[in-house]
Amino acid sequence: MKKLLFLLFFILTTTGLIISVKADMGPKPKTTIEIIGLDQPYVFDLLYKSNKEINVLSETEVLERIENYYYLDYFPEELNGYVDDEGFHSYTLYRGIPNYISFEEPNKFIAGYFSPPDVFKIALVLESGEIIVSEVVNKTLFDANFTFDLSDFSIENATPTFINGKTVYQLDDTVTELIPVGRSILQFVLTALATIFIEVFILFVFRYKLFDSYKLVVIVNLITQTLLYASMVIGYLGASLFGYLGVLIIGEIIVFTLEIIGYFKFLKEKPRSMAIMYAITANIASLVVGLFVMSWLMV
C-alpha cells in the first residue's frame, strides 16, 4: 500500500509541476508561412487591418519596433506608412502588441508570440522596391501553416497597381493552408500507446494478474483515448488555446468518470475499492501524458 501511495504522490507532484510550468509559459498561437517559387531576394512582412491612423515612423521608431522582434536588423522603407486600398498595413510596425516575425529556415517565416492576425496579407518587398502582396488570408487554426506559391508569377507578365507611390503586384489564389493530418495521426498513435503502457504498468503495480483485467484496461483506453484525442485535436486546430485546454480538461473529467464507473463494474479481480483507487491513479497519470502531448503538439 505504501508503494501505491508513493506512486500517487509522485504523479500528483509531477502533474502539479507541469501545470505550474505551462500556466506560466503558455503555448502561443503562431502562423508559419513558406514562400515558394521566388528566385530573387526579398524582405518578408505581414499586412493586417485596423482602425488606427497609420503614420510614417522615424528611423528611431522603426528600430525600436523591430529590435528583437524582427528577423532582420533593418526594415524595408516601402512598408513604412504603407496602407493599401483595403486598409491593410504592416504587422511588424503597427500591430502594437508583443509580436515577432522570425526566420525559421530558408523561405520559411513564423509570425507569433502573442497573437498573429486572423486576417492578413503576405507582403514581399523586392530589392527594386516593388511589393508583391497576396490575397486576403483567413487564419482559422491555432497553429496555422501556409504556403505562398509564386511559381507562376512573373514581373514581366504581371500588371502592377500604384499605391502610396509604390509599385504593387496584388495576387490571387496563391496562398494554401496546410492541415497537419499526418502529424496528428502519428501523435495520436504514440499518445495512445504511451497511455496504454502507463495504465497497464499501473495495473501491474496494483498487482492485478488476470488476463481479462489487462484486456479490459486496453479496450477501455483505446475507446476513451480515441475520443479524447480526437476532441483535443479539433479544439486545437479549429478553435483556440482555450478550445484545446477546455477540451482536455472537460475530456479528462468525462474519461475519469466513465473509467471509474467501468472499472467499478467490470474490473472484478480485486475489491471495488481497489478498482476505484486504480482508476484515480491511472487517470492522473494519463493527464500527465496529455500535458506532455500538449507541449509537443504546440511547439
- Strand order in 99-105's β-sheet? 99-105, 108-113, 30-36, 143-149, 175-178
**Helical residues (DSSP H) of 38-157, grouped into ranges:** 59-66, 91-94
What SS3 class is residue 111?
strand
Q: Which residue has the higher pLDDT, 298 or 292?
A: 292
pLDDT at 238 over 60: no
pLDDT, position 257: 87
Residues 293 and 199 in one domain: yes
* Chain segment 11-44, per-residue pLDDT in tens: 444 444 444 434 334 456 789 999 999 999 999 9
Asked if residue 10 is part of any domain, the answer here is no
Residues 133 and 214 in one domain: no
d(CA 156, CA 27): 44
Asked if residue 8 is part of any domain, the answer here is no
> Of 160, 178, 196, which residue sits at a domain end?
178
pLDDT, position 42: 97
pLDDT, position 244: 57
Asked if residue 241 is part of any domain, the answer here is yes
What SS3 class is residue 42?
strand
Residues 34 and 170 in one domain: yes
Q: Is-contact 101 92, C-beta < 8 A?
A: yes
Asked if residue 22 is part of any domain, the answer here is no
> Of 150, 178, 206, which residue sits at a domain end?
178
d(CA 42, CA 201): 55
Residues 203 and 173 in one domain: no
Q: In the 8-state DSSP scheme, what is residue 121?
A: E
> Of 145, 178, 211, which residue sits at a domain end?
178
What SS3 class is residue 50?
coil
The answer for residues whose C-beta is within 8 angstroms of residue 154's C-beta and 6 or more apart is: none
Average pLDDT over the chain, rounded to whole? Answer: 82
* Chain segment 53-73, per-residue pLDDT in tens: 899 999 999 999 999 899 999
Residues 118 and 224 in one domain: no
Residues 166 and 49 in one domain: yes
Report yes or no on whether pTM surpasses 0.85: no
Residues 42 and 133 in one domain: yes
pLDDT, position 109: 96
pLDDT, position 4: 43
Asked if residue 2 is part of any domain, the answer here is no
Q: Which residue has the higher pLDDT, 166 or 164?
A: 166
**Residue-number span of the structural domain to which 216 is assigned:** 181-297
Q: Which residue has the higher pLDDT, 4 or 202?
A: 202
Asked if residue 25 is part of any domain, the answer here is no
d(CA 161, CA 85): 10
Asked if residue 240 is part of any domain, the answer here is yes
Residues 193 and 234 in one domain: yes
Going by C-alpha positions, the residue among 35, 47, 38, 39 that lies closest to residue 166 is: 47
Residues 131 and 191 in one domain: no
**Helical residues (DSSP H) of the chain, grouped into ranges:** 2-25, 59-66, 91-94, 181-205, 211-238, 241-266, 272-297
Assign 296 a pLDDT band (cuts: 50, 70, 90).
Answer: low
Residues 155 and 271 in one domain: no
Q: Is-contact 204 163, C-beta < 8 A?
A: no
pLDDT, position 291: 65
Residues 55 and 165 in one domain: yes
In the chain, what percentage of residues exceed pLDDT 70?
79
Assign 3 a pLDDT band (cuts: 50, 70, 90).
Answer: very low
pLDDT at 234 over 80: no
Asked if residue 12 is part of any domain, the answer here is no
pLDDT, position 283: 83
Residue with cell 476532441: 231
When divided into structural domains, the chain yields a total of: 2
Q: Which of 128-142, 144-158, 185-199, 238-252 has the lowest mean pLDDT?
A: 238-252
The answer for residues whose C-beta is within 8 angstroms of residue 111's C-beta and 6 or more apart is: 30, 31, 33, 46, 91, 99, 100, 101
Residues 157 and 283 in one domain: no
pLDDT, position 26: 47
